[in-house]
Amino acid sequence: MIPYVECTVTLDPFYPYNEILTVKLSEVGFESFTEGENVLHAYIPEVQFNAAILEDLKHYLTANKVKFSLDYKLIPPQNWNETWEKDYAPVILKHFTIVAPFHGEEYRKKRFIEIEPKMSFGTGHHETTALMCEVMEDLDFKGKKVLDMGSGTGILAINASQLGAAQVLAYDIEEWAVENAQENFLRNATHVCEVYLGDVKDVTEQGFEVILANINKNVLFNHLPFYSKLAANQSHVLLSGFFTSDNSSLIDEAKAHGFNLIQSYENKSWSCLHFRKN
């Protein structure tokens, strides 16, 4: 066992900068990450730690006008797998449970999805992922063709499969997310799911009856014209990854591309919007 350095970053706004920092830090040797209320904790072996890394982060956050505080401390040697597993709770939703491989059978008595999160977004712990999963329960996925944009761990694609989708195509711009989703598809025996490396412009098929996108406001604004072309008539579109304060602008933009709002949902100021194509 070796000593680690724990870096703690508080962020305002938290999303999407928590994901951006996770990627940046993983590229310079950070091995694991946990999140709290507006806080990101990142861990790196002491021998690989360089304080200059934090200076680069400060410059990036300052340039993007993010309010932040940043600190680090040395963590004595310990059994990290045991510590991480102890603190990593299953996500118990109304209709199913999201578990990790090390969670016991007591959490698998009803429908469940098993996720090995690694670095990808979509463990169910974030409010937007939980929102999307719960709202999906109200849609009819049986026999449907589904697109999951920004798929991360693949949890939404897996959920669509378990709800009866006939075909689910997932896309993510990060290679490690695609690899993570592939592993999770196999883990959950979701044979109707396929994942590809790419953005919305790389989607070659059309006629999707459900589109799922848990990303962020700016990306969704850019994606909406593409969703309009990719969606079948009367298709359903679920958008999340933004705050309720962004609802009105996204609703207006979606309407301009042929989508009517069906219902809005909220969890701790995070939003999920359900649209249907005209």
Q: Under DSSP, is residue 8 helix (H, G, I), strand (E, B) or coil?
A: strand
Residue 243 predicted with pLDDT over 70: yes
- Which of 84, 105, 123 marks a domain boundary? 84
**pLDDT at site 1:** 65
Is the Cβ–Cβ distance between 3 and 46 less than 8 Å? yes
Does residue 114 share a domain with residue 69? no
**pLDDT at site 176:** 83
Does residue 136 share a domain with residue 78? no
Does residue 171 share a domain with residue 253? yes
Please state which of the ranges 67-71, 99-103, 178-182 shows the lowest mean pLDDT.
99-103
Angle, helix 175-187 to helix 155-162, in steps of 10 degrees: 30
Does residue 199 share a domain with residue 127? yes
- Region 31-40: mean pLDDT is 84
- Please state whether 155 falls in left (phi above 0), alpha (psi between -120 and 50) or beta: alpha
- Which of 36, 68, 84 marks a domain boundary? 84
Helix (H) or strand (E) holding 112: strand 112-114
Q: Under DSSP, is residue 79 helix (H, G, I), strand (E, B) or coil?
A: coil
Does residue 49 share a domain with residue 17? yes
Does residue 54 share a domain with residue 31? yes
- What is the total count of domains within the chain? 2
Does residue 106 share a domain with residue 68? no
CATH code for the domain in which residue 78 is found = 3.30.70.100
| Closest to 134 (Cα-Cα) out of 145, 126, 142 | 126
- Region 45-73: mean pLDDT is 92
- Region 239-256: mean pLDDT is 94
Residue 35 predicted with pLDDT over 90: no
- Structural domain of residue 263, as residue ranges? 89-277
- Region 247-261: mean pLDDT is 97
Does residue 167 share a domain with residue 153? yes
Residue 80 predicted with pLDDT over 60: no
**pLDDT at site 37:** 83
| pTM (two decimals) | 0.73
Is the Cβ–Cβ distance between 189 and 215 less than 8 Å? no
- Which of 84, 113, 130 marks a domain boundary? 84
Beta bridge partners of 67: 12
Q: What is the pLDDT of residues 180-219, one digit of tens each?
A: 999 999 999 999 999 999 999 999 999 999 999 999 888 9
Does residue 103 share a domain with residue 167? yes
Please state which of the ranges 13-17, 93-97, 117-121 shows the lowest mean pLDDT.
117-121
Does residue 93 share a domain with residue 42? no
**pLDDT at site 106:** 93
Residue 79 predicted with pLDDT over 60: no
Q: What is the pLDDT of residues 106-159, one digit of tens each?
A: 999 889 999 986 655 677 778 899 999 999 999 999 999 999 999 999 999 999
Does residue 118 share a domain with residue 67? no
